[in-house]
Amino acid sequence: MRLILLGPPGAGKGTQAQRLVSRYGIVQLSTGDMLRAAVKAGTTVGKAAGAIMDRGELVPDDIMMQVISERLDQADTTNGFVLDGFPRTVAQAEGLDRLLADKRLDLDAVVELVVDEEALLARIEGRARENAGAVRADDNAETLKKRLAVYRQQTAPVAAYYRSTGQLQTVDGMLPIDEVSRQIDGLLAGAGREEFHQASG
């Protein structure tokens, strides 16, 4: 099982990725985690990425392709993987297509968790207010707004890319976590029968 999870920050990609890991015995490939480890270890990639990550910007595509290519060469990916946080640009999606073709691997699914950004913001703001004192609601909402803006500009086109290749499937990410899991499961059970599960647009 090789799949990609797409969706904005706060959509629940990490949670769903972890569930897929235990359900299918695959590995979670989170490029954010890989980069944070590289920064901590002080590697060349880490040195290049650290400041960019601090600014909330995207690390250049060539670096990301190098990171993911090396990771896919590791033996633990043989059973499959769920990509979480990659690809984040259309160039990365195209690079991944070339990489997988080189390795003679196919993707089984690209699943987008679709969320209502207004509702997402309201939810986060409400939660921050409930926790008043620990986190300032404004700060939290501001940060999320910035991350959503980067997502909208650079990463939303990735969903359009996979829609154009006929690989995109969508799930309502606003549903309860267990229901989202159930729906992803349903899509994956039908992987290879994509005529029944094409995204409607």
Least separation in angstroms between residue 28's CB and ligand AMP is 11
Binding to ligand AMP (CB under 6 A) within 82-101 occurs at 85-86, 88, 92
Establish whether the linkage from the previous residue to 87 is cis, with ω within 30° of 0: yes
Tell me whether residue 127 is one of the annotated catalytic residues.
yes
Asked if 105 touches ligand AMP (CB under 6 A), the answer is no
- The helix or strand, by DSSP H or E, that contains position 187, with its residue range, turns out to be helix 177-189
Exactly one of 7, 11, 12, 31 binds ligand AMP (CB under 6 A); which one? 31
Kindly name the residue from 127, 145, 146, 152 that is annotated as catalytic.
Answer: 127
- Among residues 171, 200, 178, 175, the alpha carbon closest in space to that of 3 is found at 171
Give the chain's largest Cα–Cα span.
Answer: 52
User: Can residue 148 be called a binding residue for ligand AMP (CB under 6 A)?
Assistant: no
Measured CA distances, 31 to 2, 45, 116 (Å): 16, 12, 24
**CB-hemisphere CA count at 13 Å for 10?**
22
Q: Answer yes or no: 182 catalytic.
A: no
What tokens appear for 37 in the block?
A: 């480890």
Under rule CB under 6 A, residue 58 binds ligand AMP: yes
Q: Per CB under 6 A, does 144 bind ligand AMP?
A: no
User: Cβ 90 to ligand AMP, closest distance in Å?
Assistant: 12
Active-site residue, 147 included: yes
Residue 43 token pair = 């590697």
Residues contacting 8, CB < 8 A, separation 6+: 115, 117, 120, 147, 148, 151, 152, 155
* 55 carries an active-site annotation: no
Binding status of residue 151 toward ligand AMP by CB under 6 A: no
The active-site residue out of 136, 146, 152, 182 is 136
Q: Which of residues 34-53 bind ligand AMP (CB under 6 A)?
A: 35, 52-53
In the bound state with ligand AMP, the residue whose beta carbon lies nearer, of 21 and 53, is: 53
Least distance between ligand AMP and beta carbon 74 (Å) = 17
Q: Active-site residue numbers?
A: 13, 88, 127, 136, 147
